[in-house]
Copies of this chain bind each other. A is one copy, B any other.
Amino acid sequence: MTPIRQLRADAARNRELLLAAAEDEFAERGLAASISDIARRAGVAKGTVFRHFATKEELVAAIVCEQLDALAEVARSQLSAPDPEVGLVEFLTVTAARQHERDLSFLQAVTQTDSAVTALRDELHALVEQLVGRARDAGVLRSDVTGTDVWVLMCAPIHAVGYVSDPAPDLWRRYLALIFDGLRPDGAHPLPAAPPTWP
């Protein structure tokens, strides 16, 4: 149910409660999180979940949309940063920091077909493309790197940290820096495969 029409105040509040609860549950239990648990955590009945989101997939899609939206906001604000390097790095840092708090990146995989998600993803991707373009033009990034390259590496720092058993809370910064160094022009070796096209 895309909330086209205005929801009653309490319904809108329930929707927010549900999204928050679902994010928490998914972050803790992965996709296996159950609707029951989400409903309980949100303090509403199970039926109410389905009034707001016709299927579990729709709920997931709504969450992903929220996340994409929030990141787009960040990207837009960093697009007007005076320094292109700072803008891009800041964007990647905020992205990773949020993901570190509550990693929901695995929800992307389930929402490949959702059109609302796709639209927002395209939008965010375009913004990343701009951030990357600015940085590349400024000589901050190597010339053979594309926005899509950065897009797909965006989650890598958090993903990498997942292989350490008791990671320091800021370990992801290490891998973000390491990967970013690979994106810089200094000492760049030619890349063995063409950059991916979007979409």
Give chain A's interface residues, CB within 8 Å of chain B.
Answer: 31-32, 108-109, 112, 145, 148-149, 151-156, 159-165, 167-168, 170-175, 177-189, 191-196, 199
Contacts and interface: CB of A to CB of B under 8 A. Distances in A.
A173 to B, nearest CB: 4
Given A182-B182, A186-B186, A187-B187, 4 more contacts: A178-B183, A181-B182, A181-B189, A182-B183
A152 B163 CA distance: 6
A151 to B, nearest CB: 7
Nearest to A157: B156
Contacts of A175: 149, 152-153
A193 B179 contact: no
Between A161, A194, A196, the greatest number of chain B beta carbons within 10 A of the residue's beta carbon is seen for: A196
B178 A180 contact: no
Nearest to A93: B192
Contacts of A164: 148, 152, 196
Contacts of A182: 178-183
Given A160-B153, A164-B152, A184-B187, A193 B178 contact: no
A181 B189 CA distance: 7
B170 A160 contact: no
